[in-house]
Amino acid sequence: MRGSGATAARLGIVPQARGQRSSARDATMDRCAMNREPDFFQNLQDELSDGRAWLDRSIVLGYAVLAGLFVVAFTYMSEHAFEWFKHLHASSPWVVLIWTPALTAGIVWCTRRYFPGASGSGIPQVISALDPQVSSSARRHFVSLRLTLAKMVLGAAGLLAGLSAGREGPSVQVAAGVMHDARRWLRPGSAMNDQALLVAGGAAGIAAAFNAPLAGVVFAIEELSKRMDSRTNGVIISAIVLAGLVSISFFGNLTYFGSIAVPGLSWQVFFPGLAVVLLCGVLGGLFSRLLVASIEGMPDRWSRYRRAKPVRFAAGAGLAIAVIGLVSGGATFGAGAEEVRSMLAGESDVTRLYVLLKLVATWLTAWSGVPGGIFAPSLSIGAGVGNDMAQLFLGSDARMLAPILIALGMTAFLAATTQAPLTSFIIVMEMIDGRAMVLSLMAAAMLANLIARLISRPLYSTLSSLMIQAAIKTGEPAQRMETTAGDTAVAEPPEAGSDPATPPSPETPPASGSPR
């Protein structure tokens, strides 16, 4: 034994304790197991014998179908609501000067009074609910079936008022609230935890709203989870596919804006296209910065008035949106999808001020605090930039080449506003069946995103941080919630000398103990 020990010492081998030798042996066995080919029959037997795991998967996939149905219902509600508004505007244009501010004030009052977690787009709420700092009790203030139903009704009411808002962002919170409800039926310790369900629901909402399943997968990775867990990614992708199939079964396998013909690209398009991307990058960055500044509160009298009298401020914002809509001939009302389709078809007759008017109307809509998204309005603003550039630089070839610049504008402005370039170019690619433009759209998204990052902080993560700070500080919705411009609510401290026992008024939202 001494000789063997001396030999080991000469060879540089350090003797190991018994526990160390056991750990090394286990590690060696694990490496050997990883190097072996999987035993198909044993793995199949293990899978089939775990009945509870299959029940959990069935529950999750059933909820995915339900989430798709909720998004479909929300789509029908939103489209019919805006159709009613268009009939009102066509029959009595000047009535909107009363209708829009009155309904906007009512929506904001109801949101602040009963559903503060439903304000804005809903994407920051889902991101906040995914944060590990947020407790289970606080999470219900961001996503729940109750908020899902409120989001659907109040979001559709916003379009009934003619506000410049979209349904696609809210669909993320709608679907996430449905999927999160599945947790109550799953076994403790299931791989499909709260985070996995929220990621699946949010991505399913994007897939069903845009009829773009690939965009849903990328959105889950880029904005929600940052990475996919190998234990749950199969079920998450299945949920996205099922929600997308539900949408297709109702609306057909059609692209959102139809298909565009892409002629051979040339230097004739390169420089106008580059100008579109650069301009959209700057405008999108400024728009995002404006939203963030409005949310955090600017040192001006309008922000102070909004904090003191939020419902009256919403009525004033609604009046301004109505005036802008009348000046634009009705083009700035709603999400803007019809204007984009007209531009792509070469049949648009919108004013040259459309981009500016639509941007202001969207900002005022978001600042008022109503439930509503900025995805679709951002696409219409970018499309307007591309259409204007085509009319300005392409001359007689504008009708044929304009769709290229419009697609680049939509991608660039959406990427600059949301700072989610991958999701942006894939959404546009699937919406216009633009696979022939995939490299151009990708380059536009990346360049616009780079420019926007020099101007503004990321919109959704900034809003989410504000919401998380409020949740950690209060643990529940505060008595006075500053309903944010783009999607969140930030707690405001009570004024000095105020009586905490004073009952809330319509201008002051209730504490969390009030009706939910």
Domain boundaries, the chain: 53-251, 267-459
**Among all chains, which residue has been given the structure tokens 């990775």?**
221
pLDDT value for 42: 65
| Cα–Cα distance for residue pair 364/360, rounded to 1 Å | 6
Stretch (H or E) spanning 322:
helix 310-327
Instruction: With CA atoms as reference, report the closest residue to 228 among 204, 195, 184.
Output: 195
What letter represents residue 458's amino acid? P
Which stretches of 412-516 are assigned E, i.e. beta strand?
481-483, 489-491
| Distance in angstroms (rounded) separating the CA atoms of residues 192 and 55 | 12
Report in angstroms the alpha-carbon separations of 173 from 176, 222, 286, 368.
5, 17, 26, 19
| Residue 144: both structure tokens together | 């729940």
pTM over 0.75: yes
The closest alpha carbon to 375, from 166, 174, 185, belongs to 166
CA 190 vs. chain centroid, Å, equals 27
Identify the CATH class of 53-251.
mainly alpha
DSSP-assigned beta bridge partners for residue 482: 490
Contacts 24+ apart (CB under 8 A), 99-102: 99/161, 99/162, 99/322, 100/161, 100/162, 100/163, 100/318, 100/319, 100/321, 100/322, 100/325, 101/314, 101/315, 101/316, 101/317, 101/318, 101/319, 101/322, 102/315, 102/318
267-459, what's its fold? Clc chloride channel (1.10.3080)
Between CA 321 and CA 333 the distance in angstroms is 8
Same topology, domains 53-251 and 267-459? Answer is yes
262-270 long-range Cβ contacts below 8 angstroms, 24+ apart: 262/403, 262/404, 262/434, 262/436, 262/437, 263/400, 263/401, 263/404, 265/404, 265/440, 268/394, 268/397, 268/401, 269/394, 269/401, 269/404, 269/405
Report strand pairing: 481-483 vs 489-491.
Answer: antiparallel
**How far apart, in Å, do the first and last CA atoms of the chain sit?**
78
Partners of residue 120 on adjacent β-strands: 371
Both tokens of 118, joined, read: 């439903």
C-beta separation of 314 from 369 below 8 A: yes
pLDDT tens string, the chain, 516 residues long: the values are 445 454 444 444 445 544 454 455 555 555 555 566 776 666 666 666 666 777 888 898 999 999 999 999 999 999 999 999 999 999 999 999 999 999 999 999 999 999 988 998 899 999 999 888 888 888 888 999 999 999 999 999 999 999 999 998 899 999 999 999 998 888 787 777 888 899 999 999 998 888 888 888 888 888 887 655 666 677 788 888 888 888 888 887 766 676 676 666 667 788 899 999 999 999 999 999 999 998 777 777 888 888 889 999 999 999 999 999 999 999 999 999 899 989 988 888 888 899 999 999 999 999 999 999 999 999 999 999 999 998 888 777 767 788 899 999 999 999 999 999 999 999 998 888 777 888 999 999 999 999 999 999 999 989 988 888 877 766 554 333 444 333 334 434 333 334 433 444 444 444 334 333
For 135, the token pair is: 């407790």
